[in-house]
Structure 1
């Protein structure tokens, strides 16, 4: 039995190596697509535009239709840490202009058809707003 326990411990460590403990998201990239961002305010959902994701690059937010469709628009890189927090490595439209800043962006789902993330934004006056961005179905 004494010889068995160290072998079992090594086997368990080998099986869990490289996997984040208690993390719902494995670091990497979100599924490619257009993510509709909305905020619930004054009893209704308000659209804040779409953010396009392709590989490790994002565009938007935009109200002008599909992103990455050949129209010239600046793309910027993003990163996701092991806790599922997104760091935007460029501007994020109205989320980061006019005195607004992004406090946190958290991946809430990384499924191919259900992917989503929440953006917590701080306004110039110090108030906070949370928006949810959900992947749109491919058409």
Structure 2
């Protein structure tokens, strides 16, 4: 029984290591990511962020795509944006953390935790279309 538990634990660790291996190249899969927040019982669109290589632009809700900036992602999937990020970094707002999720290679996403000017935190999820 103890051997079965140990083997199960080792299998779980190897599976978790495999999920993080997707972060090894330090990049999100290219594409357009739609960012939404759940507020007052409905999903609100916060705009699209476009990822191409190590560059991002957006978020954009309408109009032209702004200048592209670099981003970095560490081996744990934490993203550092090396430029502005629209409403997430304006009007007294700041970024707390951005965490990528690549568990399903067909549905990559990342969560942005924003600290608002009043000190409250808001989380949005950006999913590749």
TM-score calculated relative to the size of structure 1: 0.74
Q: Report how far residue 75 of structure 1 moved.
A: 0.4
**Which one of the candidate residues 48, 56, 72 is aligned to 1:50?**
48
Aligned to 1:16: none
2:22 matches 1:24:
no
Give the number of aligned pairs: 112
RMSD between aligned residues: 2.0
Equivalent position to 2:124, from 113, 131, 135 = 131
Question: Are residues 1:117 and 2:115 paired?
Answer: no
Structure 1 gap segments, 5+ residues each: 1-20, 66-70
Q: Secondary structure at the match of 2:88?
A: helix
1:105 corresponds to: 98
Greater fraction helix = 2
The alpha-carbon deviation at position 110 of structure 1 amounts to 5.9
Dislocated runs of 4+, deviation >6 Å = none
How far is the alpha carbon of 1:111 from its aligned partner?
4.6
CA distance in 1, matches of 2:90, 2:77: 24
The structure with the largest alpha-carbon Rg is 1
